[in-house]
Amino acid sequence: MTNEFIAKDYTFYKSPEQSEWRCYMFGNRPGAQGIIYNPTKGKHPNWFVRWMMLVCFDCLWVKDKS
């Protein structure tokens, strides 16, 4: 075994900034365990889509105050 330096290719990934909106899906509510969807910043749906998701699938969209 020799002490050769083997160069490796590294790829760094910068994760996108998260939106202040969170979707508690399929009956889940804040504080409970379940599916939570957090979209990227600027990619959250408009008020009509959020309302239809609540009516049809019981998905609650909450905006963080912080």
Please list the pLDDT of the chain residue by residue as tens digits (66 residues).
Answer: 555 656 577 777 888 999 999 999 999 999 999 999 999 999 999 999 999 999 999 999 999 987
The amino acid at 7: A
pLDDT of residue 57: 96
For residue 50 the two structure tokens come to 């959020």
Residue 34 lies in a domain: yes
Residue 11 lies in a domain: no
pTM of the model: 0.73
Kind of pairing between the strands at 60-63 and 21-24: antiparallel
Any residues with CB less than 8 A from the CB of 42 and at least 6 apart, and which? Answer: 19
For the purposes of burial, counting CB atoms within 10 Å of the CB of 23, is it exposed (0-12), middle (13-18) or buried (19 or more)? buried
DSSP-derived 3-state class of residue 56: helix
pLDDT of residue 5: 59
Domain count, the chain: 1
Residue 7 lies in a domain: no
